[in-house]
């Protein structure tokens, strides 16, 4: 949570100021939202990405295509059989968290495989990675894990100008079915192609009403242009925005979790796809948006039953209307 240099830079602010602005803290998130609205028995749906995929299929929520999944330690031959015909693919652990253990291959170079950064990986490296995933290196508590091989999303080129060496994804926080806040995570050279904010990716707050950028932050400091591509974020607009928000909102029914983070990517042809859902979404989205989350969550907590029983369409309409932000200038 703490980055030492930025931690000392600029000192501390008073907790009262944060409270006044409605900033949600980690403790309040854990006690008031995750513990209260997320039932333990629903966790396996989101904690295991294979389960998420299965459940998404049931609810007709589009997801990246699953090519193969290995339940047991796969033989070298089986893995090779699966990846041999593929140009681009992603290998990930079913129960990994925080993007750990995800290996993205974007092309081939003779016998070797090419990562988005341009680095080459040998077949042996892939073997080892699969074995590590299976042994539970990336899963919580080191439990044996399953290995998924997924088709690489054919990313919509709309974000090409805003992402460097990596893939951008959109995180939407959904509370009791209502989308409350959204951000776009753009990788940078600093973040080594990863969309992880604490590693230096840019967090772009996205206005729920329009899908336009409202605010952007890198390493806790406000930025107006992408540090690598120099593109101004003010021009950024997510296409198919209403579809995307609807997809996020429908994850409420799919997972049954009251407090939820949905990670969505845009496919060139298929539109928004659900990458994964998270029962413990982080709080960096507040920094990306420059706004506290708490006031919005409390607004929905005060709703009566009738309002809470709205369908996806109505909830999205309500949120887009109510949580609209000022556009970025």
Partner 1 sequence: MSPRAQVYILAALLALMGAGLTIYKNVELGFPLLPGEYRTVWTIEAKVRFTADGGPAKAALTLPREQRNMEVLGETFSSSGYGFNVIREDDEYRAVWAKRQANGVQSLFYQLDVHQTPGAALEQPLDLSTEVVKPLLGAREQEAVRQAIYSLVGTARERSSDTRTFTSELLVALADNRNQDRNLIFGYYKGRSYVDVALLVLAAADIPAHRIRGLYLEDDRRRLDPEDLLEIYDGKRWVVFEPLSASPGVPKNFFIWQRGGKSLLDVEGGRNSGVTFSVISNDVPARDVAMLSTSQEKEALVDFSIYSLPIEQQSIFKLILLVPVGALVVVLLRVFVGLRTSGTFMPVLLAIAFIETQLFTGLAIFVLILILGLWIRFYLSRLNLLLVARIAAVVVTVVILMGAISVVSYKLGIEQALTVTFFPMIILAWTIERMSIVWEEDGPYEVVIQAGGSLLVAVIAWWVMTNRYIEHWTFNFPELLLVLLGFIMIIGNYTGYRVGELARFRQLVR
Chain residues that interact with partner 1, rule: CB under 8 A: 1-2, 4, 6-8, 10-15, 17-19, 21, 23, 25-28, 31-32, 100, 124, 127-128, 131-132, 135-138, 199, 217, 220-222, 283, 286-287, 290-292
CA dihedral 310, 57, 45, 159 (to 10 degrees): -80
Minimum gap (Å) between residue 311 Cβ and partner 1: 31
Using the minimum distance from each CB to partner 1, give the nearer residue, 96 or 177: 96
Minimum gap (Å) between residue 41 Cβ and partner 1: 18
Tell me how many degrees the CA angle 52-182-101 measures, rounded to the nearest 5. 45
Using the minimum distance from each CB to partner 1, give the nearer residue, 62 or 136: 136
Minimum gap (Å) between residue 154 Cβ and partner 1: 26
Q: By C-alpha distance, which of 312, 290, 316 is closest to 21?
A: 290
Minimum gap (Å) between residue 251 Cβ and partner 1: 26
Using the minimum distance from each CB to partner 1, give the nearer residue, 32 or 42: 32
* Burial class of 2 by CB neighbour count within 10 A (0 to 12, 13 to 18, 19+): exposed
**Residue-wise burial string across 166-188, b where 16 or more C-beta atoms lie within 10 A, e elsewhere:** bbbbbbbbbbbbbbbbbbbbbbb
Minimum gap (Å) between residue 306 Cβ and partner 1: 24
Using the minimum distance from each CB to partner 1, give the nearer residue, 105 or 291: 291
Task: Please enumerate in sequence order all residues whose Cβ is within 8 A of that of 185, keeping only pairs 6 or more positions apart, or say none.
Answer: 168, 169, 170, 171, 195, 196, 197, 201, 202, 203, 204, 288
Using the minimum distance from each CB to partner 1, give the nearer residue, 57 or 128: 128
């Amino acid at each position: 949570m703490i980055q030492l240099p930025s931690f000392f830079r600029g000192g501390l602010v008073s907790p009262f100021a944060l409270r006044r602005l409605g900033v949600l803290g980690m403790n309040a998130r854990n006690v008031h939202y995750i513990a209260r609205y997320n039932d333990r028995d629903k966790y396996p749906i989101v904690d295991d990405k294979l389960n998420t995929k299965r459940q998404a299929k049931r609810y007709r929520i589009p997801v990246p295509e699953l090519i193969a999944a290995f339940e047991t330690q796969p033989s070298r031959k089986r893995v090779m059989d699966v990846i041999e015909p593929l140009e681009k693919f992603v290998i990930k652990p079913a129960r990994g968290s925080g993007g750990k253990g995800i290996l993205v291959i974007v092309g081939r170079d003779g016998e070797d495989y090419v990562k988005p950064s341009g680095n080459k990986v040998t077949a042996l490296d892939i073997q080892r990675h699969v074995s590590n995933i299976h042994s539970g290196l990336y899963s919580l508590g080191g439990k044996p894990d399953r290995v998924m091989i997924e088709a690489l999303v054919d990313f919509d080129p709309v974000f090409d100008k805003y992402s460097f060496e990596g893939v951008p994804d959109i995180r939407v926080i959904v509370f009791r079915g209502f989308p409350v806040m959204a951000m776009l995570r753009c990788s940078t050279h600093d973040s080594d192609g990863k969309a992880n904010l604490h590693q230096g990716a840019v967090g772009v707050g996205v206005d729920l009403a329009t899908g336009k950028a409202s605010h952007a932050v890198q390493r806790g400091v406000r930025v107006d242009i992408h540090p690598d591509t120099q593109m101004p974020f003010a021009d950024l607009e997510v296409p198919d925005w209403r579809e995307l928000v609807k997809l996020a909102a429908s994850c409420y029914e799919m997972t049954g979790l009251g407090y939820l983070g949905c990670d969505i990517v845009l496919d060139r042809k298929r539109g928004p796809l659900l990458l994964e859902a998270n029962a413990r979404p982080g709080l960096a989205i507040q920094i990306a948006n420059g706004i506290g989350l708490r006031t919005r969550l409390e607004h929905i907590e005060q709703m009566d039953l009738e309002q809470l029983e709205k369908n996806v369409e109505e909830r999205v309409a309500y949120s887009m209307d109510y949580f609209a932000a000022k556009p970025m200038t």
